[in-house]
Amino acid sequence: MPYGIIGTWRMAFEGAQIALQMLKSGEWAKFALERAVKEVEDYPYYKSVGYGGLPNENCEVELDAAFMDGDTLSIGAVAGIRDYKNPISIALQLSEKSFNSFLVGVGAEEYAHKEGFERKNMLTERAKKIWEKRISDMKEKNLSPYDGHDTVGIIALDERGSMAVGTSTSGLFMKKKGRVGDSPLSGSGFYVDSQVGGASATGLGEEIMKGCLSYEIVRLMQDDRTPQEACDKALYEFHHKLANKKGKQPGAMSVVALNNKGLWGVASNVEFSFVAGTNKEDLKIYLAYPEGSRKTIIKEANKEWLEAYEARIKKPI
């Protein structure tokens, strides 16, 4: 039976590599996925997820995360949670509840505390420096505060045909306290049904949630579209619809999908890196670009791109 994994952005690579090995050894999709997302949450140089994530306008790191089990359609999510090490694990546990499965802010923190989840100050010195620099750039250069975000969204399929999806993010840099993006919203940031496949989105949450993009992609796959066809159709049609309604180009939106046969697809209206691997193909880092804003061009990331990425994320502030 096929197995596989796909994740948004270059940052998913290390975690997805561990998860793909776990899937190869027969691990359940949901535990492989949790492991993959935790790896991203724990790495301090990924500045849009977990530890090291960029703070809100008050310099507080507020995190959003969600988990969905494709076998049962159970969902768990947290939003605006502060000072917990692995929001994905809290979301996964919440998905097992019939009631109170999506908790926000103080309620999410109290739940995590009672359940013994590990606490951690999620604001790194580096993230604080980036915040301070942005405050002064906003004053001096009249720069938009809202430039900087990314979500790790991972979909996994195991040998039994079980599927799961998870998301985790610090959301929009400099967001208002209490702002929630698409990442913890079912159907927008994620959706999975093991009888079909799963999808996850990243980009400007305020746009993505208008189109319920992840649900739309799963619905299109259910209508016999391949993951690539479903991503192209959902993303570019929605991009054009928004552009027409707004009279200007929409914000960044990128999507990934994996079906229950181990086929994957992606689409994006900006340059977008992602990782994918299955029982047939090694995990690789790819770049996707929109072509004529109807189709997606996909290339493997080359050495120069990877080196520039590494230098960029570790650049002194």
Site string for ligand ASP, 282-301 (x = CB under 6 A): --------------------
Indicate the residue among 74 and 151 with the shorter CB distance to ligand ASP: 151
Local structure of residue 66 (DSSP, 8 states): E
Is 200 a residue that touches ligand ASP (CB under 6 A)? Answer: no
Nearer to ligand ASP, 23 or 108 (CB): 108
The runs of H, that is alpha helices, within 46-166 are 87-94, 105-114, 125-141
CA atoms within 13 A on the CB side of 157: 27
Beta partners for residue 8, in sequence order:
274
Size of the site for ligand ASP (CB under 6 A): 14
Provide the 8-state DSSP code for 175.
Answer: P
Distance CA 183, CA 16 (A): 19
- Residue list 94-153, contact with ligand ASP (CB under 6 A): 149-151
Asked whether the beta carbons of 272 and 266 are under 8 A apart, the reply is: yes
Point out the catalytic residue in the list 8, 151, 278, 296: 151
Residues 243-271 as b/e (b if ≥16 CB within 10 A, e otherwise) read eeeeeeebbbbbbbbbbbebbbbbbbbee
Nearer to ligand ASP, 12 or 208 (CB): 208
Tell me the residue length of the chain: 317
Shortest distance in whole angstroms from residue 207 CB to ligand ASP: 8
User: Which residues, in sequence order, are CB contacts of 45 under 8 Å at separation 6+?
Assistant: 52, 126, 313, 314
Q: What is the side-by-side strand order in the sheet with 163-169?
A: 102-104, 74-81, 63-69, 163-169, 152-157, 4-8, 272-278, 284-291, 295-300
Among 202, 259, 260, 296, binds ligand ASP (CB under 6 A): 202
Minimal distance, residue 317 CB to ligand ASP, in Å: 20
User: Least distance (Å) from ligand ASP to the CB of residue 296?
Assistant: 18
CB of 203 to ligand ASP, least distance (A): 5
Residues numbered 159-188 forming contacts with ligand ASP, rule: CB under 6 A: 169, 171-172, 181-183
User: Of 74 and 202, which has the nearer Cβ to ligand ASP?
Assistant: 202
Residue 151: active-site member: yes
Q: Which of 15, 50, 70, 205 binds ligand ASP (CB under 6 A)?
A: 205
CA dihedral 43, 44, 45, 48 (to 10 degrees): 90
Minimum CB distance to ligand ASP smaller for 29 or for 204: 204
Active site residues per annotation: 151
Residues that bind ligand ASP (CB under 6 A): 149-151, 169, 171-172, 181-183, 202-205, 208
